[in-house]
Chain A
């Protein structure tokens, strides 16, 4: 690349592959091509030496040592919390409640997005079905309009509200509970559907970070 990477006189493809030749991450054919080129190209040999120096500098050990234990503990706590909710949330001791109050900005953002979504979707459902005054649904009550399987989900916190609504509509889902402390929403299908297919569909969507059956419906998703 000497003199501004001018590869006009070189095998330009070989010159572009030099970084991966330097790291030994080329396939056999490409590696052979670059090797042959280097035999008669002094410019690329100099460039290769430069790239190796850049790589060495980048990989040189720094003086900073990172302590992974705190992050590991936080992530394991997040996993454990998701695994035992929502029952644990109801009877949480003060210490646990205090710890939850300090959960990450990620969860806070998720709660905000999902709470707004819950409000709007709830309003839309209310307008559509107009239940008599005083009636409301709890998790222990019959599902009503939500006749299909239930799943617990966590969405990407940066997901726009419009996309959340679109995703729910695509899978014929409504929000029946949440968000929990960990930002999880409980969804229910509005029509009978194959639980496995529903879970697979949700998990295939990159914006869905977590999707598991609730275990509360007899034919629930697995």
Chain B
């Protein structure tokens, strides 16, 4: 029995997206700036939101995005088909983000507490916004590696094996981090009256 109602064309859409990005990389490796522009725009949105959530500063997120895509420009010719393009690019973004976050960890933590304490969730916000903001507040309290596994899995739709490749760790470590992330998130949400409805 299928408990999640998967769409039947999800896999082929993903493959088509990967084929397109592979072709963009091939063109980038020969110095095609139009291809670079296309790839940059494809990745900016998904990276911007995810990285801003991690760093709490759009300026930091943009620094990571620009560094990441600049490295992609330099190394496009080194991409091997063993990975999906998105896994390769996310691996680069992950390493750049980790450096930036660790450099500014104290500041980021202070920012997260300060901002979130000062801006309680608006009670009249639409339900979807309320849920997302409540969730993001608690995500920010998870250890970085656990939060990243959740983000890579739920926001960026990577498989367990791809997350392991991105984070350069064993698959079992990914499963364990996810296990602990889910447990902590469940506890945090259960203690938060604002999260009464869902998730």
Contacts and interface: CB of A to CB of B under 8 A. Distances in A.
Interface of A: 1, 4-5, 16-17, 19-26, 35, 38-39, 45, 48, 50-64, 66, 68, 70-72, 74-76, 78-79, 104-106, 158, 203, 209-210
B63 A25 contact: no
Contact of A57 (B52, B132, B160): B132
Contacts of B7: 24
B105 interface: no
A66 B134 CA distance: 21
Nearest to A26: B159
B82 interface: no
Contact of B182 (A26, A45, A51): A51
* B-side interface size class: 35 or more
Contacts, number: 143
14 contacts: A25-B162, A38-B3, A50-B186, A54-B199, A58-B155, A59-B155, A60-B128, A61-B128, A62-B49, A66-B44, A66-B48, A66-B58, A72-B37, A209-B70
Quick one: which of B45, B66, B183 has the most chain A CB within 10 A?
B66
Contacts of B116: none
A20 B67 CA distance: 30
B4 interface: yes
B144 interface: no
B131 A57 contact: yes
A106 B67 contact: yes
Chain A interface SS verdict (over half): helix
Contacts of B199: 50, 53-54, 56-57
Contacts of B134: 57
Given A1-B183, A21-B4, 14 more contacts: A16-B179, A19-B150, A24-B10, A25-B153, A51-B182, A54-B199, A56-B131, A57-B128, A58-B139, A58-B150, A60-B132, A62-B129, A76-B37, A209-B71
A66 B45 contact: yes
A27 to B, nearest CB: 8
